[in-house]
């Protein structure tokens, strides 16, 4: 493969120097001139604390929030893939009605601000539908063991409804973007693949299952993995409907302690590290797929 040589120009040096100077200046102003009492010592104990009664270290609110964010991200992404694949396939079927359904979903979601969508879902799904389904009662009636497992996988019983509506909201939202990825993946295949499998006598469903989806899936794997990162970032937005994920917990800690900047810097660092690790994973995946293409 052709690789361009890394070369450092005069301009790079100048820009880098300026950036360093600017950073130094900001840090200087922050530490010397800012009317703000730094109090970093308080942060660690909101991450982990020593539980005297149990005699072991336990995650405190921030880390609990982080775990909720992770759980929320994983389940929402899976659900979003489910929505996205169904709608994405619908968008490529020959039937006009199917395409219309898929298209409406995407257009509806993409042309409404996410925050507004969340409120809609919250007041509709969480406040009306969930109690109707009796999810919370159902969870509470399970054995303690089951409740514990459910708590591990999803959320504690008292927060279950909120968790589900948060998950559902993000999934519906992200599903619209995954729909477009799936559609693009399917449409990126040459018409010849459809025609050859058609000529062999395969039904539409068989063409999809054996010919089109396996190839499309391989092509869209990196963008799909990327949506995982997007879901993680978007999950912060459900803090507005009191889902106790990382951002929500940060607001709680901030309200209780007034160590604003430290809390937000910590939270930023957690998101940043998570997303960067995932992003490295995606890059690795892309690399692998590119190599196996041959």
Partner 1 sequence: MPFKAKGDYIIVVEHINKTFANGVKAVVDFTTKIHRGEVVVIIGPSGSGKSTFLRCLNGLEDIDNGSIIIDDIPLNDNEKNRLEIRKEVGMVFQQFNLFPHMIVLDNVNLAQRRVRNKSKAEANAMSMDLLKKVGITDKASNYPSQLSGGQQQRVAIARALAMMPKVMLFDEATSALDPEMIGEVLDVMKDLAREGMTMICVTHEMGFAREVSDRVIFMEDGKIVEVGTAEHFFTAPTEDRTKLFLSQIL
Smallest distance, partner 1 to C-beta of residue 93, A: 15
Cα-to-chain-centroid distance, residue 66: 13
| Binding track, positions 207-246, relative to partner 1; x by CB under 8 A | ---xx--xx--x----------------------------
User: What tokens appear for 69 in the block?
Assistant: 């964010």
| Binding track, positions 167-186, relative to partner 1; x by CB under 8 A | --------------------
Smallest distance, partner 1 to C-beta of residue 95, A: 14
188 scored as a contact of partner 1 (CB under 8 A): no
Nearer to partner 1, 64 or 197 (CB): 197
Smallest distance, partner 1 to C-beta of residue 192, A: 4
Residues 192-211 contacting partner 1, CB under 8 A: 192-193, 195-203, 206, 210-211
Supply φ then ψ for residue 28, to 5 degrees. Answer: -60, -50
Nearer to partner 1, 141 or 203 (CB): 203
Smallest distance, partner 1 to C-beta of residue 209, A: 9
Task: Tell me if 221 sits within 8 A of 66, measured CB to CB.
Answer: no
Our CA dihedral for 218, 278, 24, 47, rounded to 10 degrees, sits at 170
User: By rule CB under 8 A, what count of residues binds partner 1?
Assistant: 19
Rg (CA), the chain: 24
Distance between CA atoms of residues 6 and 9, nearest Å: 10
Nearer to partner 1, 167 or 212 (CB): 212
Task: Tell me if 267 sits within 8 A of 62, measured CB to CB.
Answer: yes
Local structure of residue 6 (DSSP, 8 states): P
Nearer to partner 1, 189 or 251 (CB): 189
Smallest distance, partner 1 to C-beta of residue 30, A: 55
Across the chain, where does the E strand assignment appear?
Answer: 48-51, 56-59
Distance between CA atoms of residues 262 and 226, nearest Å: 29
Task: Tell me if 208 sits within 8 A of 89, measured CB to CB.
Answer: yes
Smallest distance, partner 1 to C-beta of residue 210, A: 6
Q: Which residues contact partner 1 by CB under 8 A?
A: 190, 192-193, 195-203, 206, 210-211, 214-215, 218, 294
């Amino acid at each position: 493969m052709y690789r361009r040589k890394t070369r450092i120009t005069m301009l790079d040096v100048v820009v880098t120097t300026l950036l360093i100077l600017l950073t130094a200046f900001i840090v200087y102003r922050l530490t010397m001139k800012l009317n703000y009492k730094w109090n970093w010592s308080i942060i660690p104990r909101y991450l982990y604390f020593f539980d005297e009664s149990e005699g072991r270290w336990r995650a405190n609110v921030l880390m609990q929030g982080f775990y909720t964010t992770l759980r929320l991200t994983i389940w929402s992404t899976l659900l979003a893939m489910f929505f996205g694949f169904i709608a994405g396939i619908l968008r490529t079927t020959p039937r006009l009605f199917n395409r219309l359904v898929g298209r409406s979903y995407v257009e509806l979601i993409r042309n409404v601000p996410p925050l507004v969508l969340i409120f809609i879902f919250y007041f509709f799904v969480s406040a009306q539908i969930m109690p109707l389904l009796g999810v919370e009662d159902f969870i509470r009636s399970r054995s303690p063991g089951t409740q514990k497992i459910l708590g591990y996988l999803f959320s504690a019983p008292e927060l279950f409804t909120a968790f589900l509506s948060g998950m559902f909201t993000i999934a519906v939202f992200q599903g619209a973007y995954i729909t477009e990825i799936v559609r693009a993946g399917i449409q990126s295949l040459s018409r010849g693949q459809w025609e050859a499998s058609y000529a062999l006598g395969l039904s539409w469903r068989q063409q999809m299952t054996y010919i089109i989806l396996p190839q499309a899936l391989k092509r869209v794997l990196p963008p799909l993995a990327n949506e995982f990162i997007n879901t993680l970032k978007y999950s912060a937005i459900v803090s507005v409907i009191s889902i106790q994920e990382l951002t929500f917990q940060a607001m709680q800690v901030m309200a209780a302690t007034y160590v604003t900047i430290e809390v937000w810097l910590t939270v930023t660092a957690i998101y940043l590290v998570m997303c960067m690790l995932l992003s490295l994973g995606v890059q690795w995946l892309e690399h692998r797929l590119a190599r196996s293409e041959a």
